[in-house]
Amino acid sequence: MELFDVYSLFDIVPVKAEGCYIWDDKGNKYLDLYGGHAVISIGHSHPHYVDRISSQLKKIGFYSNSVVNPQQKELADKLGELSGMDDYALFLCNSGAEANENAFKLASFHTGRSKIVAFEKAFHGRTSASVAATDNKKIVAPVNSFHQVEFLPFNNVEAVERTLSKKDVAAVIIEGIQGVGGVNIPEEDFLISLQKLCRKYGTLLILDEIQSGYGRSGKFFAFQYSGIDPDIVTMAKGMGNGFPIGGVLISPEIKAEKGMLGTTFGGNYLACAAGLAVLEVMKEEDLISKAKETGEYLLKNIEANISHKELRGRGLMIGIEFEEKISSIRFQLLKEKCIFTGISGTNTLRLLPPLTLSIEQSDSFTGSLDVLKNSS
Ligand SMILES: Cc1ncc(COP(=O)(O)O)c(C=O)c1O
């Protein structure tokens, strides 16, 4: 049987990974500044992570959400403590798109409305309402397009007020930092106004922290730079360090009713073991502060040494926009310097490394990029 051919692949077969490094089947060692798309938070194959998942599997790997799983509550407690959001409630699911679907559903149940507001260049996933709220017509199929979604310009308070004042919007969704759209940071004042307007017009505010959350920005969630209290926060990627897990944080004003949400696999024992290991390592190794420090250092180093059009980022979520297209530089980084990086659009190199990245490893990237740029 053939695989359904939807991914553009690099000709690389990873067989082993540790910390910030990956090895391929030919013995090449790569520095991972992509983290499997912002997923690897505590580093590849962290010993505590490996132990927690494997010892859990020896006890019990799966049962459905019809029985009590005390690890879900343990995960909620540790997440509340590290994020400072312990008055919110946690719903566990399996992926980012699923977290957003559940967030839309909650907002719609709560408000009785069905319209969604999203922003230009947003990416919220590839399922029903999540893809409809994604600003990329190419990936929205006719079956997704019945959702009522309005896209507004980023950082534009007047446009938000004009739309919300009609009082028919269930939810506004915004990324803590736009990832796929090019590492675009919402202005702090914009987020504060957005929250005020949502409250004024009875709309719920959903913060999509699927890529920017879990310490990557140098705070647990990127929106925390603005001090707002969203109604709903969605997360995934870094939450499981590669084990599929997603979550929705729900403010106390939104009340649960039996059966309103559900999932077969969400919050299973292995996912909880992975999620707990991530939070334990993040706390033990102080990874949020580390991401902030290494990120600030890396940003300064790039600013000073690499010619670019615009540099954007917070913590270890960094976009370097160039005047020229960068697919060949990205390819050279990978093939000649053995460094994995991400991309946004055609001109922006996107860095999403594990939060354990060291200063020396970040230097090795800046040095290699400098050499390649000067020789091209
Ligand atoms: C901001 C954001 N939201 C949602 C998603 C979708 O997550 P998933 O691929 O786990 O469904 C992504 C994935 O890249 C993302 O970056």
Q: Return the percentage of the chain with pLDDT > 70, whole number.
A: 100
- pLDDT for res 256: 97
236 lines ligand 1 (CB under 6 A): yes
For ligand 1, say whether the CB of 208 is within 6 Å of any of its atoms: yes
Parallel/antiparallel/unpaired status of strands 169-175 and 204-208: parallel
CATH number of 47-284: 3.40.640.10
Cα distances from 333 to residues 31, 312, 342, in angstroms, run 10, 20, 11
Looking at residue 268, its pLDDT comes to 98
Query: Residue 251 has what pLDDT?
Result: 98
pLDDT, position 375 = 82
Q: How far apart are CA 216 and CA 238, in angstroms?
A: 8
For residue 250, report the phi and psi dihedrals to the nearest 5 degrees.
-125, 125
User: Which parts of the chain have pLDDT scores under 70?
Assistant: 376
The verdict on the CB of residue 353 being under 6 Å from ligand 1 is: no
Q: How far is the CA of 129 from the centre of ligand 1 (A)?
A: 13
**Measured in angstroms, how far is the CA atom of residue 307 from the centroid of ligand 1?**
30
Residue 209 and residue 179 in contact, taking contact as beta carbons nearer than 8 Å: no
37-58 pLDDT, tens digit per residue, is: 999 999 999 999 999 999 999 9
Is the C-beta atom of 355 inside 6 A of ligand 1?
A: no
Q: Where are any strands of DSSP class E within the chain?
A: 14-18, 21-24, 29-32, 89-93, 115-119, 149-152, 169-175, 204-208, 232-235, 246-250, 310-314, 317-321, 339-340, 342-344, 348-351
The per-residue pLDDT for 374 is 83
Contacts of 159 (CB under 8 A, 6+ apart): 152, 153
Q: Which atom of ligand 1 is nearest to the CA of 212?
A: 1
Q: Ligand 1, residues 7, 40, 124, 209: which to mutate, most atoms within 8 A of Cβ?
A: 124
Cα-to-centroid distance, 189 and ligand 1 (Å): 25
Residue 130 Cα: closest atom of ligand 1:
4
Cα–Cα distance between 286 and 105 in angstroms, integer? 35
pLDDT the model gives residue 145: 86
Mutating to test ligand 1, I would choose from 40, 94, 121, 123 the residue with most ligand atoms within 8 A of its C-beta, which is 123
List, in sequence order, every beta strand (DSSP E) within 223-353: 232-235, 246-250, 310-314, 317-321, 339-340, 342-344, 348-351
- 123 half-sphere exposure, CB direction, 13 A CA radius: 17
Q: 173 C-alpha vs ligand 1 centroid, how far in Å? A: 13
Query: Does the beta carbon of 308 lie inside 6 Å of ligand 1?
Result: no
How far away, in angstroms, is 124 Cα from ligand 1 center?
6
